[in-house]
Amino acid sequence: MKKIARYWLVIALLWIVNQAKAQYVYDYKRTGDIYYEAKDYYSAAQYYTKALGTFKIKPEQILPYAVERKGKETGKIKDYETVIYRLGESYRQYNDFGNAEKYYEQAVSFNNNTLFPQARFWYGICLRANGKYPEALEQLKQFKQQYTHTDDISNRATLEISCCEFAIAEASRVPGFTIVKLGGDLNGGGANYAPATIGKNMLLYTSSRPDSSMMQKKAKKANPYINNLFMAMGSGNSFSDSKELNIPEAKGMDQGAATVSPDGNTIYLTRWTTQNNIKLAAVYISTRTGDKWSEPKSLGQNVNVEGYSSMQPFVTTDGKYLLFASNRPGGMGKNDLWYCMLENGTPGPARNLGTVINTRDEEQAPFYDAEKKALIFSSDGRVGLGGLDFYRSEGDMGNWGTPKNLGIPLNSAKDDLYYTAVDKMHPMTKGYISSDRESVCCLELFGIKKINKTINGLILDCDNNLPLTGAKVTLLDTILQKVLQQITLNETGRYSFEVEAKKHYKIMAEKENYFSKAIYVNTDDLVRIDSMENPTICLKHFEIGKPIILKDIYYDFDKATLRPQSLIVLDTVVAIMLDNPNIIIEMSAHTDSKGKDAYNVKLSQRRAQSCVDYLISRGISTSRMIAKGYGKTRPIAPNTLPDGKDNPEGRQLNRRTEFKVLRVTQVSK
């Protein structure tokens, strides 16, 4: 009896243990739900992954609209589907798009468009974030067809479809920059972002690398990953000796995303706290005395509005403006870009940069290029490669041009933001950015450099074929008719301009008392090579009132009708007039001594007028030309020889057409 009793006791204990284990395992899902609702998505993902091992679901039970499902779905299947979907959601929320894609793919396979109606949208977003643009485009189009609601997700799907189409087209574009992940000790541990240059060899940046003191104390309740400002020494794409900036910290607050005043003695920085996944940020100011920085102070209500965030400050190189991002009231959407005028470092009232720049979504991390008058910022509310992309808008604080996506490789399928220049006086040649393109979780620092493509050429004097020292050569955009670069030639007579591939440019060469000349350049060949040699240009010298003979101008006998070959010569005059809009000319015709004086004057006048009429037909203004017939009054060679015989060669020289510059006017620009 005792043996039997012990037997049943063991059976009972095993049953209790198994039940306890089953209950404990099932709690993985319940625990995951708790973390999920608390928006701790990293912990939720860990528990949901463990919970998957508790389900014994046959493959045919989770197929879409499976015929095997008879009657009402079991709670077990619903729980399994919920765990799969929430795993996708959890991984996406902390930017692990690789794992998120895997679980969303499963979710759309059993989604009946009512349980998880947005699963296919997020599946498409993850595919896009992983650089799988054709697959993302297919999923997003399918979602758009199936989704019946009109809401933010529906609107976003339309934008994301355009982004995928843009990215597919962008893949064939020639990159204008190289991009390299910064070496040294900058990108070690946590997130590293928001670079700002100080001097030539110093980089200020924000890092969330773990606090060593907290790690040593094994502080279980405190978060060791605190954002703070760091400095590193170096140049190019390598920086080392990273150290925390000697600036006071605030307990319980992160700080970073800073900018430095032009004199290097003031830092404008962001301080923030995060509670329940909601960040509240404000812009602070700290000044330097010696090698120490003062306790940061809030910039006040013109920048910081209570209950809202202001962050990512930038001060222009002239110290006149402070730009920042904020979700304060009066904006267009989430975070907008704003600016204040600075008076001795103190900001005036904030003004929104307007609807040309700001969208309903995120605009962040402004940088203003004072030399080129261009704003560089990041946005996820426009057509781009995905996530936050860099855009550029030309203009000033009161008037902006349409922002242009800066394309690959500056932008990627993930987040790209916080641009700064190596030399703020000559931006967009070398600089640094932040991007999470190579990371699952965090922003990292990259160096960028513009790929130098050049067009080169030689300017000569037409009369002696020597280099034309002192000539001014200008590179213009043929679409905007805008001056891009301008140089004065040295004794070599050579010029060189940095340009972009697959563009059309105009090169204008000019010098005082020379006829200016333009050539047009197509840089398609620069796709394959780094430099192009343009045709040599020669400039013709002129003197006011001195005639220039036009050779090979022919008329029918005793008529003023121009022969076809004469038009080719006159086209050179057309080119001169177009390239030199400030000159007034006289077009003149001459005869030899045969015929009566009055008749020769009338004939030459009609011939000169024929030349002027042709120039008018080619678009030259009548106000810039005078027709004058001189008959036989101004010979340049004898019509007869000393012995009285006829001189055919002399008469030939006298039957001529000329033009001369009468005056040079000022042309308004």
Give the per-residue pLDDT at 447: 95
Q: Is the pLDDT of residue 215 over 60?
A: no
- The first and second tokens of residue 464, run together, are 């002696």
- pLDDT band for position 188 (cuts 50, 70, 90): confident
Please state the rounded mean pLDDT for residues 518-531.
88
Between 329 and 640, the higher pLDDT residue = 329
Joined tokens for residue 415: 């987040």
Residue 442, CA distances (Å) to 46, 335, 436 in order: 19, 20, 5
Whether the per-residue pLDDT at 306 is higher than 70: the answer is yes
Q: Model confidence over 255-293: pLDDT tens digits? A: 999 999 988 899 999 999 987 778 899 999 999 988 889
CB 516 within 8 A of CB 504: no
Residue 235 has pLDDT above 90, yes or no: no
Contact 443, 434 (CB under 8 A): yes
Q: Each residue of 568-596: pLDDT tens digit?
A: 999 999 999 999 999 999 999 998 888 88
168 and 134 Cβ atoms separated by less than 8 Å: yes
- The answer on pLDDT for 611 being more than 60 is yes
Mean pLDDT of the chain: 87
The one-letter amino acid code at 405 reads N
Report the predicted TM-score, pTM, of the whole model to 2 decimal places.
0.71
Phi, psi torsion values for 609, nearest 5 degrees: -65, -35
* Residue where the block lists tokens 């600016």: 339
Per-residue pLDDT at 69: 46
Question: Which of 365-369, 450-454, 484-488 has the least mean pLDDT?
Answer: 450-454
User: What pLDDT digit, counting tens, does each position of 53-73 carry?
Assistant: 888 776 666 655 444 444 444
> What separation in angstroms does the CA of 425 have from each of 108, 199, 262, 421, 517?
51, 12, 11, 9, 31
Q: Are 517 and 583 in contact (CB under 8 A)?
A: no
Give the mean pLDDT of 385-403.
94
The full DSSP string for 375-402 is EEEEESSSSSSSSSEEEEEEEETTEEPP
Q: In whole angstroms, what separates CA 580 from the centre of its chain?
A: 35
Give residue-wise pLDDT tens across range 319-371: 999 999 999 999 998 999 999 999 988 999 999 999 999 999 999 999 998 87
Q: What percent of the chain has pLDDT over 70?
A: 90
CA separation, residue 252 to residues 94, 225, 271, 614 (Å): 22, 11, 10, 81
Domains within the chain, CATH numbers bracketed? 2-170 (1.25.40.10), 177-215+224-450 (2.115.10.20), 453-539 (2.60.40.10), 548-664 (3.30.1330.60)
What confidence score (pLDDT) does residue 542 get? 93
| E runs forming strands in 388-534 | 389-396, 399-400, 404-405, 416-421, 430-435, 444-450, 453-461, 472-477, 482-488, 494-499, 504-510, 517-522, 531-533
3-state secondary structure of 123: helix
Dihedral sign of CA atoms 161, 166, 169, 175 in order: negative
CA distance 100 to 362: 23
